[in-house]
Copies of this chain bind each other. A is one copy, B any other.
Amino acid sequence: MSTPWAEVITALRALVDDFTTNGVEKLPPERDLAASLGVSRGTLRRALAHVEGEGVIYRVRGRAGGSFIKQVVESAPIHSAMFELRSNKLIRDLNHVAGVPQMLARQGRSARTEIIAESLEQPTGSIARLLGIGSGEPVVSLLRLRYADEETWSLERIYLSAERFPNLLDLSPIEALYQELERHYGVSVHSFEEHIEVNPADARVAGLLGIHKGAPLYAMRRVSWDENGDPVETSVDFFRTDRTRLRLAGWFDSGDPRTS
């Protein structure tokens, strides 16, 4: 947290927590808030837009308007209750890349990760290209089985450059990968691209997930990049379609800074 902007976000989150415990639902006017935080209104508004994007607050115009704290059910997406879904599926939120365990926690589910394998490998050509390394350079490969409510949910294969992240395997077992990368290497994911298909499970994957061979699975391929546009990791995840609902929310511009 070095930039003013990031500090303001942190301060806002703390303020929201504080207000929530004290039963206050409305934040001060933007002009006052900016002054008390020692930043300009523009900077404050960018931070407000960010936490609004996180679903922490919402803003209302007009004389009785302001920035209000959302006392959400928060476990579920805002309108999901309105969808006529009798299913009890787990939600994979496509708006947030990180944190499968956190995602499950917010849905009131238990999460467990089983490390199937952690190893150094010679990458295939396409993996090397995706990571922007030579095909002779080794990659760290993680294979993890995710459980939700003590039942299999997904199988994840992740590749990272071994040269860029030395001694990564010493951190084993790696549960929250992105946090570790941030902490030990100062690398954070800034953008990503994900492709999703539905394919029948092959024998090996079906065996690990405990499902029938040929059952449809989401196959999600992802690449993520840091702020310089350098690849951070690439992965292939298989999610059980019988337990998973994908959720996606978005919005279009209105001329004011927004975040995603």
Q: Which residues of A contact B (CB under 8 A)?
A: 3, 5-6, 46, 50, 77-80, 82-85, 87, 89, 94-95, 97, 124, 126, 129-130, 188-198, 216, 218, 221, 223, 227, 241, 244-260
Contact = CB atoms under 8 A, between A and B. Distances in A.
A194 B247 CA distance: 6
B260 A257 contact: no
Given A190-B251, A250-B97, A260-B250, A83 B195 contact: yes
B197 A3 contact: no
B194 A130 contact: no
A245 to B, nearest CB: 5
Contacts of A195: 77, 80, 83, 85, 245-248
B197 A87 contact: yes
Nearest to A98: B252
20 contacts: A3-B255, A78-B193, A80-B195, A82-B126, A85-B195, A188-B252, A191-B250, A191-B252, A193-B249, A195-B245, A195-B247, A196-B246, A196-B247, A197-B241, A216-B241, A227-B254, A250-B260, A251-B260, A257-B258, A258-B260
Contacts of A191: 249-252
B253 A50 contact: yes
A102 B89 CA distance: 32
Given A193-B248, A216-B216, A252-B260, 7 more contacts: A3-B255, A84-B124, A85-B195, A194-B249, A195-B246, A198-B241, A258-B258
Nearest to A129: B82
A260 B50 CA distance: 13
Contacts of A83: 126, 130, 195, 221
Contacts of A77: 193, 195
Nearest to A246: B196
